[in-house]
Amino acid sequence: MEILGSSESLRPTAQPVATSLSRAAIFLVVTIKHGTGSRTAIRSFCADFAALVRSVGFRELEGSLSCVVGFGSEAWDHLFGQPRPKELHKFREIRAGERHAVSTPGDMLFHIRAQRMDLCFELATRIMARLGPAVSPVDEVHGFRFFDSRDLIGFVDGTENPKGQAALDATIILDEDPAFAAGSYVIVQKYLHNLTEWNKLPTEKQEHIVGRTKLTDVELEDSFKPTYAHNALTKIVEDGKEVQILRDNMPFGQAGQGEFGTYFIGYSRSPRTIEQMLQNMFVGKPPGNYDRLLDFSRAVTGNLFFVPSATFLEKVRAE
């Protein structure tokens, strides 16, 4: 897709942020080794990134393979210097009682999506082989679509996602930062669930916490919905209009180890929208009226990345 920037002649092309939901995904976060040659190796990789994705995706065209790469604040300075995206910064941790939105290491994010996990795995393998000693992996999560797009807590996830042009409007930067038009911000968090305790709750109580019915996925009426409901606290309204983000959350887990979780990933034109959602969830709105999901789910990672346009990546030179 092409997005107009400050000059129509530039027409930067966005990375595939607003792509359709997939059946499988890999979320790969790495840190950069700041030794000899890492900057050159990664800059060279950026220019070849699109061709690498195409080469793997061409092996199974119906697999709809795509990949988005984002960069953390310190990594941006190390790799690209000035100018820099005006709202890029390190993920801001939040502490409120026992609730903690942690900030964890991460210089680059690869969000790999396809209809088949083998395509995701093959691309992740090639990315790591290409980057070699320039990076160290710090987190890798293999996500899967769970039945009718449900989370492991049993509720449909992503119902209110914007679609089509609305998804582009929610995620792709335009004139607010002309130097980085067609870019986007993305925040990721890995949540681990205590399903044993969650499943002890009556369904009606679970529905009050989430703000939707469990079976039919119908939003509870405002007159009936608690103010602490998840979908009440994560609805951001400015000037009378809801500010949307694009979520592509995925369940993950290891049944034998009793690990069950959700990988949250949210794209937006400004990180402030998701940061406000997290503030409402962890601290509460008003303070103390927090998201009761956090009594059963804890964040174990937290990162903010900037996703530059595909045009930006193609123009990067090794130096």
177 is known as an active-site residue: no
Which one from 139, 151, 157, 248 is the annotated catalytic residue? 157
Provide the residue count of the chain: 319
C-alpha closest to that of 140 among 151, 122, 153, 124: 124
Distance CA 73, CA 107 (A): 8
Dihedral-angle region of residue 97 (phi above 0 means left; psi in -120 to 50 means alpha; beta otherwise): left
| Active site (catalytic) residues | 157
